[in-house]
Structure 1
Amino acid sequence: MRFDLTDLRLFCDVADAGSITGGAEKSALALAAASTRIRGMEEALGAPLLTRSRAGVTPTEAGRTLLKHARGILADAQRMREDLSVFSGGLIGQVRLLANTNALTEFLPEALSSFLADHPQVSVDLEERLSDEIVGLVAEGAADAGIVAGTVDVGALATYPFRSDRFVIVAPPGHPLAAQASVRFAQVLDYDLVGLDRASSLQRFLAGKAAREGKPLRLRVQLRSFDAVCRLVECGVGVGVVPATTAARAAKTMALARVELADDWAVRELKIVVRADEELRPHAKALVESLKA
């Protein structure tokens, strides 16, 4: 059986994305080429690696075994590239960092810019994920570190405090919610909403909360940034759920009412998660130390 590094990277990307389409996109391969590679791997092994369904794909027992070995091989290959790149004057390392929506949009741009300025030969592969997904991927070794909500169970991972924030409701002046001091999310679900793209981790999180309340999200429009959400809210399209830091910044230039969310999950203590300090490569450890600072 012959699996090259492209095969192994593709299989990891497919497993992480939960679909061959998503894995092909992450691996920068055409869907047809990715499907052919996966089938070739299964034929070479003589056993299925993925269980396919309408909801996507999940690794079989053989696939989970391959995934474990593939992550180790790819990590070793990355270390080799980093060690050899010193001789060519190129990048000496890459760190894979996962973050939820709040951390990604509100806090990481400034934190990462400082780190990258101080480490010009290190690159950061940053990806948005749900907090519970981040915990699983870091634990599996699929990422060097992650930033998650403080409410998620991190298992045996080491944690460090990162930032604090909370979600609030932004509403246009005159909206029924605008005069409220605080509301529960269940009340918000009675009104039209302006939200983020369905692929965002926050939007998936809110959809889950709405499902638990037994109500749908009445999304009028979905956008790619919190600032865009605030602009559409100001225009009267609906109300939005955004970080308090975003709402405070937007309120300086937009006509917006800010309303506290009374739900416990609205308070966001963000944490850095890693497997263990001794497992981190030097540049990954340097990034974590930078984020902690």
Structure 2
Amino acid sequence: MDEPLDGPPRLPGYSLRQLLYFVTAAESGTLSEAAARLHISQSAVSLAISELERALKVQLCVRRKAHGITLTPAGKQSLREMRALLRQAEDLASDVSGTHQGLSGRLSVGCYVTLAPTVLPPLLQGFSALHPALTIDFEEGTGDHLQRRLLGGDLDVAVLYDTDVLPEMDRALLSTMRPHILLPAGHPLADQPVVALHDLAAEPMVLLDAPPSSHHTLLLCRSAGVTPTVRHRTGNFEMARALVGRGLGYAILVQRPANDRTYEGLPVVHKEIAELPEATVSVLLCWPRQVARTRRAAEFVRFCLRTRPADEPIAR
């Protein structure tokens, strides 16, 4: 049972509407764009922000006609808390109105760029089917970018590899995958069930350079006692596969699409790494530890854990 308040609560000097107008302006970058999104006048947005600043006794942003708005340090610091308050208010409205059986509002999900095509679609489809009134936004990006977005309050939850995850994150295990070597189908070692990195050390490597993939790949090579000859770097997963398919190098990847052909139709093969037969990579659901999760985010995490896939088999 919740503890009663010691005395009557003190009403804040600001309103949720003012918070909404400021958050929308901060996300839009200009007052005019915020006004268009809110379907109100630009002067109404400007007045609400001014009243909010007076209530909080701090300047939240600098407004310039030709340059939009720029958040002050206080504005940046307050933005995350304001987003959290708005989401909690939305949860309260949903609970009190009796719609708690079906979620509504907006859920923002991030996903590491190479995981997104295979991990996100079934999760979005399944969760949307359970909660058709809920709007789910998703964003793809690198691990460091998505974690900044989580800490900034832009995302509720993100799917990340368990590499370079910040200590500020809470996490839950979604699945486990195995790293593998990707070779063109015509490579001399393509018929071998297992391939040693030492046998590829002198050959060019195609490095997937999307943090934390590049760090993880080079760490695997060091663990195997190999210094790779990196010839090509790309932040695009399919570009890495395309370069391998054309025989321009080998790659070490974790995610494995169902189709073992590149966009150009060139065949590629997946091989277990001889030096690292037990190597695995965990896929996590992450959210900021210091920010209370909304009910939408908590339900999404529970849904993902109930429907999480089996561990990926060894690539051969």
TM-score after normalising by structure 2: 0.56
Residue type of the alignment partner of 2:197: V
CA apart distance, 1:269:
0.5
Contact between 1:165 and 1:245, CA under 8 Å: does it hold in 2?
no
| Equivalent in 245, 249, 274 of residue 234 of structure 1 | 245
| Equivalent in 266, 277, 283 of residue 270 of structure 1 | 283
For the residues of structure 1 that align with 2:137 and 2:88, how far apart are their CA atoms? 17
Question: Which residue pairs with 1:107 in the alignment?
Answer: 119
Moved more, 266-275 or 63-72: 63-72
For the residues of structure 1 that align with 2:143 and 2:243, how far apart are their CA atoms? 27
Question: Which residue pairs with 2:132 in the alignment?
Answer: 120
Question: Which residue pairs with 1:250 in the alignment?
Answer: 260
3-state DSSP class of the match of 2:210?
Answer: helix
| Equivalent in 274, 278, 287 of residue 300 of structure 2 | 287
Q: Is it true that 1:11 corresponds to 2:22 in the alignment?
A: no
CA apart distance, 1:99:
1.7
Q: Is it true that 1:181 corresponds to 2:195 in the alignment?
A: yes
Q: Is it true that 1:203 corresponds to 2:217 in the alignment?
A: no
Which protein has the bigger helix share? 1
Residue type of the alignment partner of 1:127: E
Contact between 1:183 and 1:259, CA under 8 Å: does it hold in 2?
no
Q: CA, structure 1 residues 281+65, in 2 after alignment: closer, same or farther (shift >3 Å)? A: closer
State the structure with more CA Rg: 2
Q: Is it true that 1:130 corresponds to 2:139 in the alignment?
A: no
What is the aligned-residue identity percentage? Answer: 19
TM-score after normalising by structure 1: 0.60
Q: CA, structure 1 residues 112+12, in 2 after alignment: closer, same or farther (shift >3 Å)? A: same
Q: CA, structure 1 residues 268+82, in 2 after alignment: closer, same or farther (shift >3 Å)? A: same
For the residues of structure 1 that align with 2:165 and 2:213, how far apart are their CA atoms? 18
Question: Which residue pairs with 1:32 in the alignment?
Answer: none
Contact between 1:194 and 1:219, CA under 8 Å: does it hold in 2?
yes
Contact between 1:166 and 1:267, CA under 8 Å: does it hold in 2?
yes
| Equivalent in 165, 171, 180 of residue 159 of structure 1 | 171
Contact between 1:86 and 1:92, CA under 8 Å: does it hold in 2?
no
Q: CA, structure 1 residues 211+173, in 2 after alignment: closer, same or farther (shift >3 Å)? A: closer
3-state DSSP class of the match of 2:204?
Answer: coil
For the residues of structure 2 that align with 1:13 and 1:166, how far apart are their CA atoms? 40
Question: Which residue pairs with 2:73 in the alignment?
Answer: 61
3-state DSSP class of the match of 2:108?
Answer: strand
For the residues of structure 2 that align with 1:191 and 1:155, how far apart are their CA atoms? 35
Map 1:11-50 onto structure 2 (within 5 A). Answer: 11-12=26-27
For the residues of structure 2 that align with 1:129 and 1:13, how far apart are their CA atoms? 20
